[in-house]
Amino acid sequence: MSQTSNPCQHMNLASSSIGDVKYCADCGIVHLAVQNLSLRLETETFRTLTYMLAQAQLNMEDHEHYSRHQYQAVQNVKPFIKKTH
């Protein structure tokens, strides 16, 4: 019989079709699993990552909306192309 150290108790924080997020209170570590990717993050790093991803998503949606708008504008109106160089 080897060491009797208690295995970490991972609390499930969230899960989806692509992976899940678990928290280990003993280590103060967030386990992020996405497809075949697995990350162990300190809580503060995880928070920063979450904000960063949320920001990225917002920017991506802005960009997609803007692109769609531009595309429609190109179809309806002859675009004024400004040459900067």
Under the rule (CB under 5 A), what is the footprint of Zn ion?
A: 8, 24, 26-27
> Cβ 40 to Zn ion, closest distance in Å?
9
Dihedral sign of CA atoms 24, 28, 34, 37 in order: negative
Residues 6 or more apart whose Cβ sits within 8 Å of residue 63: none
Q: Which is nearer to Zn ion, 11 or 27 (CB)?
A: 27
Q: Are 39 and 31 in contact (CB under 8 A)?
A: yes
Name the closest residue to Zn ion (Cβ).
8
Residue 10 or 50 with smaller CB distance to Zn ion: 10
Tokens coding 70 = 């531009």
Nearer to Zn ion, 27 or 73 (CB): 27
